[in-house]
Amino acid sequence: MPYSISETLLWLFAINLGIAAGAGFYETRIVVPQWLTGSQETGYHWNRAAAVDANVGLRFWSFVTTLPLTLLTLASLIAATLAPLPLKGWWLLAATAALFDRLMTFGYFIPTMLGLMQADRYSNTEAALKALQWVQLGYLRHAALLIAFLATLKAFAEFYLSR
């Protein structure tokens, strides 16, 4: 693959991963506490109205990750297989970690959030437990994105060292 194409793809992948990782940390720290409140002592409460009102899936994530990161991940998997070593290894690690994030997102996170946002789908207790599980599993997704982002940065280093 010509350097200009692979370099551009790597840049776009890194930028999108950085935005996705940072936005995920922000959402977990700032936005999610508006949806899921309480503690182990008092119990948790799922605020469906706040989640529906925020609608971050359609207002933000669909533009940043749903299509763009998914396409960049798939393109990176292909481009990484054509890259020379050691760039290939780091880029494949980044793309694989991002693919893991994408699979978790489409297989669990999006369907679960859509269910939590539907009225009368779960009882208050079930919704709170489901939301708590969603948050806790989100840390695994954050780790995957962080690994992908850091591996992409290392791939950059290898890319420019090989020139």
Q: What is the 3-state secondary structure (H, E, C) of 121-139?
A: CCCHHHHHHHHHHHHHHHH
Distance CA 64, CA 57 (A): 10
For residues 38-68, one letter each, b for 16 or more C-beta atoms within 10 angstroms of the residue's C-beta and e for the rest, the string is: eeeeeebebbbeebeebeebeeebeeebbeb
pLDDT band at residue 46 under the 50/70/90 scheme: very high
pTM over 0.85: yes
- Please give the Cα distance from 55 to 58 (Å, whole number): 6
**In this prediction, what percent of the chain has a pLDDT beyond 90?**
92
Give per-residue pLDDT as tens, 107-142.
Answer: 999 999 999 999 999 999 999 999 999 999 999 999
